[in-house]
Structure 1
Amino acid sequence: MKKVFKVFSMLFVLLTVLGVGILSAQTPQPAPQKKPLTLTNILVALGSQKIQDMDEKNRILIEAVIDRGVTFAVTPEIEDELKRAGASDILINTIKMKTQVSQPVNPQPTPAPQPQTDYATFEKRADSYVQRGRYELAIPLYDQAITLSPRTSSLYVKRGFALFNTQDYDLALADYNKAIELNPKDASAFFYRAQLHEKSGNLEEALEDYQKAVELDSNNEQAKNALKNLTARLPRPTPSPPQNQVASTGTTPPVQPPVQPSVTQPKVEPKNEPKSEPKNEVAKNQPKDEPKKVEPKPEPKPEPKNEVAKNQPKDEPKKVEPKPEPKPEPKPEPKPEPKNEVAKNQPSNPKPQVTEEQINSIIDSDLSDVIIGVGQITSSDIVRLVRPVYPQVAQKAGIGGQVKVEVTWDEQGKVISAKAVEGHSLLRGPCEDAAKRSEFKPRTIEGKPVKARGFIVFNFSR
């Protein structure tokens, strides 16, 4: 009996173990959680060269942000960095919405703020150098202040003023443009940019900026005086007086005709009377022969038309009515239906197209294959800038203006490529050569240098 009991107990243990194993195998295991995206992931993906189309990269990142979420909040500085890297407004708004949803669900302890040097200390030191006329010493201090506070528009105005006095007009113009972009109501930025345009010979642009500066700050006497002096220098339009004279001479001739017909009427009447009599005589002679031919022609024509019209509706409406009715009805009905079906299927197609492989391929790209976008190049991005040569042919022809050059540099700051995308053809070559011989500051991601791409604007005064 003991042996039988042991056998049954062993079988019971084996059955229980097998049952537990089967149940554990059938129970679904939770899917592995996907890691949310960091700011570095998004910047690397935007700079990845595995996909050249920036719209396609934005579309993939939008799907990835919706699916995975993000680990950071969008500050004005981060938003500016994302825009310069090529992020679309839809992607930025998606990140903001995902941040607002994910913050209360996964609260994370905020690190204690670390003490850092205030940008005002660098600004004050730079201002003191500007007051003493040491602009070359003030520029690097403004660079440090802008690094700490990149959204302060007044810092770009002050650095642009220092660059203007060191005759770095291209970089000064870039700083003034950036200041106006950050604060479109900054009258000082328009005023100093107007001075730069006037110095470069772009008088029309200078006039517009002076007018804007006076409009924003009516107490700016310097802007008012500069506006008066510039308007006095510009030639006034003269086509208005001859147009008025021509209009006045054009109105006089139509006044004379009513006077002339009153005088010529008695002379014309006797002349017309004898001429009208033979016309009437001919008219009397013509209807004798013609009306017989003319009258029967119009009379039988309308009559058969009416008779045919009466006969046609009896036979034709039966043929005409069924023909248009079946043709338009079947044609529009089948056409909108497939279009609607395709429209219903279209929005569902883009979602499955974005796979995890596509997301991981650009997020986990090797940094050697990444080119970070920096937007417009400013003095804080430049180590050494070579000025382009103004061709004599262009000078003699009065050719000038701005030339926009797109520049790409490597991890050491050496220029890889430079291509002019805007500007006159005679000025593009010298600008490309100057950009290739320039040197820029390397960009880094998590302390590692990467390639970068931006554009610089050269200004030629006529």
Structure 2
Amino acid sequence: EKELVGTGANAELVEAIRHKSPKTTLISTPTPTPVPTPISTPIPTPPVPDAAFYQKRAGEHLFNKKYDLAVPEYTKVIELDSKDAANYLNRGLAFFNLKNYDLAIADYDKAIELAPKESMVYFNRGDLHEKMGNLQKAIGDYKKAVELDAANEPAKSNLQRLQAEQAKTLPKTPGKETVSASASAPPSAQQIVNVGPLNSLAVKLAMPVYTAFERQRNIEGLVTVQVTLDEKGKVISAKATVGHPMLRLTSEEAARNSKFKPLLVKNQAVKATGFINYNFKAS
């Protein structure tokens, strides 16, 4: 337009060109709205199972007589806690019931090494020696069990029985100390049979009292009570051998309040010994 005016173009021509010229429209490009990046929520990592976790499962298997399942669980417990004699004792009981006697003896030996003053460990090893025919070793273990705990009725009874049998055989075989006993003969009324878990004889299992005080302080874990029954199934002794000291008395009381039927061997009622497991969980 300025060029036309400068060259002397007619004003009407300049005005006509002005009206015909296209108008430039500025189009603004919108600024893209930023898309928020989603924040991923971290997935919590489950806690790594500890010895108590495997011990609980092992105890349940042992109590339910699933000995083949109890052994690997106790093995895992021992890998995590190799200083607790109770784990070797209980795995030994599982091996005993699976008739893996050599492995059972090895576990009982280790339990005695870790807890040399625990009477029931000697009783269990003595019971195994007797079943293997090692009667002198059985007598030695029963004696040690009674020496450590004069109230250990199973050990006292089995010791008296073996000594009585030995006294009968000694005059017939002078110079020999071996006791011969017929495996087919029914147990005497004085014999106490080790049955392991007592759930098969239980008519009613009383539960121990678990106080709020103990829960609040996370006093928990497995408690094993060794129980002895007379020929009528009545509890004549109950002693906790494994577990937190503050949970033992209530567990023993629960065992005493439980009801059992008599153990019959060859249609004869006999004394029996075995254990009950109580698992205390604070939460």
Give the alignment's TM-score, normalised by structure 2: 0.42
Give the alignment's TM-score, normalised by structure 1: 0.26
- Would you tell me which structure has more helix in proportion to its own residues? 1
